């Protein structure tokens, strides 16, 4: 009998089993659906108090999803779906401001470029008093943000107060789609190292990154650092496009493995924009999802050196299923794997209190723990580690606060809102008095302490002074950002960012990607030798 005929007969023989199993499963599902419907019907019609049937059905649906023990599967209400779409796309219809709560009022903290707010002359430090005819005194940031957003082309009247201006400033805005940048800036460090933060994977992430990399290359960058720290992910298609900027055409980027063998493999389809420039990625425990797809692909193919701490370990694929009434079900449908087969997902379990915790709560940042995990090989034969998440090639932990500094910030914790308001108000005053190369004088720290005391934030003055360097950094970086923007604030903070300093240092020692990996190997060997002593 021919091989093809055997295969055909074998396949036909399986059909009754598969169909029978499907019928049995379908019958059980129908019985369960009838049971739920009967219970909800009796409760909605016979319970001693009046209950809303629609609310019962929604709560039942949410309870069903909760029983999946998956923190990423959720039923989205129409409002939640709208927010989810805006966050995912990086776009919304509004006027283009970042706002914060200060002294019981809402203050403009940042005006985004090329937006209605910028065109109308809104300034950082302006206070919002009215939206249309409503006095918003006492509103939260969330309430204000919701009121400012709307359909593209719709109009909203906002009345501002501005220090030094006696009358309210009324401005009627026409809402427009606001694009939140994925790459807010790209700068040169030490004349030859390019640095850029990739904050999210929105629909423009790939284009913004390509533009920034191209500009840095033209400025003479001999190496580039892409900062993925704190990047929670976003549109997964963009993670594939971003990876394709650096990988060769035909190389695998990632794969997903789903139920019933519904697997997919994703391949680089275009020639890379930056095929050879030495590349370092910074990661930490908040780098997740799409960030980990990029880091895993570039690590497996020896295209980037990973520096920092182990990533979050979110390797689950969520699909969004539209439902009636404007609802949607966001549900996990598959898992992501790196090109060499490492699972990105860290195993987690649900506690009785509803928290999800790692089954093995370590960050793979000791030599002995790292060796206990499954080892894989990159294209060039380098050892890379599995077991969930992306383990950096060079582990660099962030600086920690001293005991005294920790005590000070612990004292701040119960009054976080008051501390934040005081910091913002004082920084808005100071920003008018500084130049880009300013230093923080002791008088600023003393005045900040006085204002905190006036706000009811009590802390021992001697302890406060012992944490003076950290307080000065907080004041200096906040004032710099408000006065000159994020890039200037970042330049000021570099000496305090030991992960970035390390990345700059290894790039300075390298002329190629191969050099970077050689440095990493030497550091790993030195760390292993030190651990054995």
- How confident is the model over 489-524, as pLDDT tens digits? 999 999 999 999 999 999 999 999 999 999 999 988
Inside any domain, residue 526:
no
Mean pLDDT, rounded, of the chain:
87
The CATH number given to whatever domain includes residue 158 is 2.30.42.10
Q: Which of 126, 227, 300, 393 is catalytic?
A: 300
Q: Are 449 and 430 found together in one domain?
A: yes
pLDDT tier for residue 235 given thresholds of 50, 70 and 90: confident
Residue 13 has pLDDT above 50, yes or no: no
Q: Which of 243, 254, 287, 289 is catalytic?
A: 289
Q: Are 286 and 160 found together in one domain?
A: no
Residues facing residue 171 across a β-bridge: 158
Q: Are 106 and 243 found together in one domain?
A: no
The answer to which of 104-118, 226-240, 243-257, 444-458 has the lowest mean pLDDT is 104-118
Give which of 294, 278, 331 is closest to 205, Cα–Cα.
294
Helix 468-484 vs helix 442-454: crossing angle, to nearest 10: 90
| pTM attached to this predicted model | 0.79
Inside any domain, residue 322:
yes
Determine whether 52 is an active site residue.
Answer: no
Q: Are 319 and 290 found together in one domain?
A: yes
Instruction: Give the domain-ending residue among 178, 209, 240.
Output: 178
Q: Which of 149, 159, 287, 314 is catalytic?
A: 314
Alpha helices in 120-163 (DSSP H): 141-148
Q: 426: domain range?
A: 403-496
Determine whether 254 is an active site residue.
Answer: no
The CATH number given to whatever domain includes residue 272 is 3.90.226.10
C-alpha dist (Å) from residue 469 to 83, 326, 449, 486: 39, 51, 14, 21
Q: Are 476 and 388 found together in one domain?
A: no
- Rounded to the nearest 5°, which phi and psi values hold at 517? -70, -35
Determine whether 239 is an active site residue.
Answer: no
Spatial distance between the Cα atoms of 378 and 283, rounded to a whole number of angstroms: 19
Give which of 273, 206, 272 is closest to 234, Cα–Cα.
206
Torsion sign (Cα): 316, 317, 321, 325: positive
Tokens 């501005």 belong to residue: 162
Long-range contacts: 215-219, Cβ < 8 Å, 24+?
A: 215/186, 216/186, 216/188, 217/274, 217/277, 219/188, 219/194
- How confident is the model over 263-295, as pLDDT tens digits? 999 999 999 998 999 999 999 999 999 999 999
């Amino acid at each position: 009998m021919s091989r093809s005929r055997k295969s055909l007969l074998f396949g036909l023989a399986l059909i009754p089993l598969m169909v029978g199993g499907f019928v049995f499963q379908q019958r059980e599902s129908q019985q369960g659906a009838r049971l739920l419907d009967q219970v909800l019907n009796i409760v909605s019609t016979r319970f001693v108090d009046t209950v809303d049937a629609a609310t019962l059905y929604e709560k039942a649906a949410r309870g069903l999803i909760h029983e999946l023990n998956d923190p990423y599967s959720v039923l989205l209400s129409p409002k939640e779906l709208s927010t989810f779409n805006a966050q995912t796309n990086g776009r919304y219809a509004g006027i283009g401001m970042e706002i914060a709560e200060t002294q019981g009022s809402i203050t403009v903290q940042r005006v985004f470029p090329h937006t209605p707010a910028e065109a109308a002359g809104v300034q950082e430090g302006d206070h919002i008093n009215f939206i249309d005819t409503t006095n918003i005194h006492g509103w939260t940031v969330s309430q204000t943000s919701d009121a400012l957003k709307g359909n593209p082309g719709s109009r909203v009247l906002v009345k501002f107060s501005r220090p030094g201006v006696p009358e309210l400033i009324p401005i009627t805005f026409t809402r427009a789609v606001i694009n939140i940048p994925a790459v807010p800036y790209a700068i040169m460090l030490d004349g030859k190292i390019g640095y850029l933060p990739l904050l999210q994977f929105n629909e423009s992430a790939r284009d913004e990154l390509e533009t920034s990399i191209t500009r840095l290359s033209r400025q003479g960058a001999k190496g580039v650092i892409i900062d993925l720290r704190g990047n929670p992910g976003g549109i997964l298609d963009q993670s594939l496009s971003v990876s394709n900027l650096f990988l060769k055409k035909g190389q695998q980027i990632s794969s997903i493995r789903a139920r019933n063998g519904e697997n997919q493999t994703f391949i680089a389809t275009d020639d890379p924009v930056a095929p050879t420039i030495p590349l370092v990625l910074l990661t930490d425990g908040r780098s997740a999802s799409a960030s980990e797809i990029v880091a895993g692909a570039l690590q497996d193919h020896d295209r980037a050196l990973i520096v920092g701490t182990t990533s979050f370990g979110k390797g689950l694929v969520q699909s969004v299923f539209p439902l009636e009434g404007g609802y949607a079900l966001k549900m996990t449908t598959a898992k992501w794997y790196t090109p060499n087969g490492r699972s990105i997902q860290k195993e987690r379990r649900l506690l009785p209190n509803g928290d999800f915790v790692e089954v093995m709560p370590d960050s793979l940042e000791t030599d002995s723990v790292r060796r206990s995990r499954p080892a894989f090989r990159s294209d060039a034969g380098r050892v890379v580690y599995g077991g969930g998440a992306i383990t950096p090639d060079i582990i660099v932990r962030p600086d920690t606060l001293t005991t005294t500094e920790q005590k000070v910030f612990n004292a701040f914790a119960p009054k976080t809102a008051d501390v934040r308001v005081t910091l913002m108000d004082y920084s808005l005053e100071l920003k008018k008095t500084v130049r880009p190369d300013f230093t923080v004088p002791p008088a600023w720290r003393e005045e900040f302490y006085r204002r905190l005391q006036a706000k009811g934030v009590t802390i021992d003055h001697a302890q406060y002074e012992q944490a003076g360097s950290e307080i000065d950094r907080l004041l200096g970086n906040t004032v710099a950002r408000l006065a000159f923007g994020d890039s200037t604030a970042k330049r000021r903070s570099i000496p305090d960012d030991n992960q970035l300093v390390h990345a700059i240092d290894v790039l300075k020692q390298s002329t190629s990607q191969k050099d970077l990996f050689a440095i990493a190997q030497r550091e790993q060997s030195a760390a292993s030798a030190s651990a054995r002593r």
